[in-house]
Amino acid sequence: MTITEAPHGTGEAAVESYREAVAGCSAADRDYAGDVAQRLVDMVKSFSAIKARIHGSASPEGYDSSLLLKLAHHGPMRASDLAERMCADPSTVSRQVAGMVKAGLVERQADPDDGRASILVPTASGQARVDQMVQMRGQIFAPLVADWSAEDRAVFTRLLTEFVHGLSSNIEAVKNVAAELVQPAPSNAQGSTA
């Protein structure tokens, strides 16, 4: 079963389907995926280094700009939903949301579906900051793709989009299976050594 055939979500059926997909992959698939994962890790480290150079060790406003970008991209949502989308600790996101509210980049509004709760909405200043960050990213990374053909750009964008969608659609199953894989193997109850 390929992951595109597996059920998405957070339930045990999704986790079991992901386990089956992991078991069904060939050694060549695993080697290739390991190579891709290493390249992604290297990319994340590079992005982190760039971000640290721009903002220092922490944003002066006390928030991670990726929260504002995610909120602007996906639309108004509760802080708990933002934390889930960011795969981040809710208390950390709550503190960073407070920084965005204080900076005037986000406002809390009543949730139209549940008046007891609030949703986070980018302000005009917040949207302007997002637009500035997106434009800056384009300027910074344009030289890296400037000599790519239109076809190469389209293929890269399509495949990267598919990869990110597959990961985000299956994030809970991936986290569960990854946690299982890193657990030490149970020791033999008989006490024998291999």
For residue 64, pLDDT beyond 80: no
Residue 7 DSSP symbol: P
Close Cβ partners of 170 (under 8 Å, ≥ 6 residues apart): 3, 6, 8, 14, 18
The per-residue pLDDT for range 1-34, each reduced to its tens digit, is 455 544 555 588 989 999 999 999 999 999 999 9
Contact (CB, 8 A) for 15 and 176? yes
Measured CA to CA, the distance from residue 173 to residue 3 in angstroms comes to 11
In the predicted model, what is the mean pLDDT of the chain? Answer: 86
Among candidates 58, 61, 75, which has minimal Cα distance to 104? 61
For residue 193, pLDDT beyond 60: no
The per-residue pLDDT for range 34-45, each reduced to its tens digit, is 999 999 999 999
Q: Provide the token pair at 157.
A: 């964008």
Classify burial at 126, counting beta carbons within 10 Å of its beta carbon; exposed 0-12, middle 13-18, buried 19 or more: buried
Higher pLDDT residue, 98 or 63? 98
Higher pLDDT residue, 64 or 6? 64
Average pLDDT over residues 55-64: 59
Helical H segments across the chain, by residue range: 12-23, 27-55, 65-74, 79-86, 90-102, 124-145, 150-169, 171-182
Average pLDDT over residues 42-69: 76
Average pLDDT over residues 53-62: 60
User: CA dihedral in degrees (119, 120, 124, 126; nearest 10)?
Assistant: -170
Average pLDDT over residues 39-57: 82
Q: Phi, psi at residue 36, to the nearest 5°? A: -60, -45
| Pairing label, strands 114-122, 106-111 | antiparallel
Q: Provide the token pair at 146.
A: 């400037």
The per-residue pLDDT for range 78-95, each reduced to its tens digit, is 999 999 888 889 998 999
Alpha carbon 88 to chain centroid distance? 9
C-alpha separations of 122 from 34, 101, 116, 144, 149 in Å: 37, 9, 20, 30, 36
pLDDT at position 1: 44
The per-residue pLDDT for range 101-157, each reduced to its tens digit, is 999 999 999 988 887 889 999 999 999 999 999 999 999 999 999 999 999 999 999
pLDDT at position 113: 86
